[in-house]
Chains A and B, each alone.
Chain A
Amino acid sequence: ILNVEQSPQSLHVQEGDSTNFTCSFPSSNFYALHWYRWETAKSPEALFVMTLNGDEKKKGRISATLNTKEGYSYLYIKGSQPEDSATYLCAFPASGTYKYIFGTGTRLKVLA
């Protein structure tokens, strides 16, 4: 059974702090890894689609890295702001299938 794990489940940081969280996924038959940002009462919003081992992608203060050999991706937020408060989800489109497997999400709260 394919499983995607995220850690931590939740965290609180102070405004201005930098933070990171992890997504672990099956390393065999890797196809892609997606990161989403999900604010309460809104749709999940795509942040990154990572496909290549060693990939690093950046969007403003948010960046992500990918290690397909060991099966993990890190999401970094530099200088967290209250508007970064959201749940960050990773999702794994399983190779050879048309399904996505989601992690439990990391719930981030940035305190002003």
Chain B
Amino acid sequence: EPEVTQTPSHQVTQMGQEVILRCVPISNHLYFYWYRQILGQKVEFLVSFYNNEISEKSEIFDDQFSVERPDGSNFTLKIRSTKLEDSAMYFCASNGERHGETQYFGPGTRLLVL
């Protein structure tokens, strides 16, 4: 069964460093999402992406964040200059033809900023 994959599973970085989190969504899916969950808090929407552009972003998704689908398979989230408060579990998800359909989640990347 097709699945969403994410790499790395864990990342430790120093404050101020750039990180790139990678996701490979299910191949025929059209909508892609990034979420994060800070320990003990709700899962928070970061950004949705469709037709090679951002369709919606949350107030969390400021200029430090960017997303890219560089080659038609990978979907990346870049944090330019990490802060301590960026430490969280980051999940990628995708769904098929319409926003609102069943989403399929990756296993997540746990990011720790020191």
Q: Which residues from chain A sit less than 8 Å from chain B, CB to CB?
A: 31-32, 34, 36, 42-46, 49, 89, 91, 93, 97-105
A42 CA to B55 CA in the complex, in Å?
27
Other than A93-B100, A101-B45, give 13 A-B pairs with Cβ distance below 8 A.
A43-B91, A43-B104, A46-B104, A49-B100, A91-B43, A91-B103, A98-B50, A98-B55, A99-B56, A100-B33, A102-B43, A103-B42, A105-B43
- Asked if A42 contacts B48 (CB within 8 A), the reply is no
Which residues from chain A contact B35 at a C-beta distance below 8 Å?
Answer: 100, 102
Bound Cα distance from A42 to B58, whole angstroms: 25
Residues of B bordering A, CB below 8 Å: 3-4, 31, 33, 35, 42-45, 48, 50, 55-56, 58, 91, 99-108
Check B105 against A31 for contact (C-beta < 8 Å). Answer: no
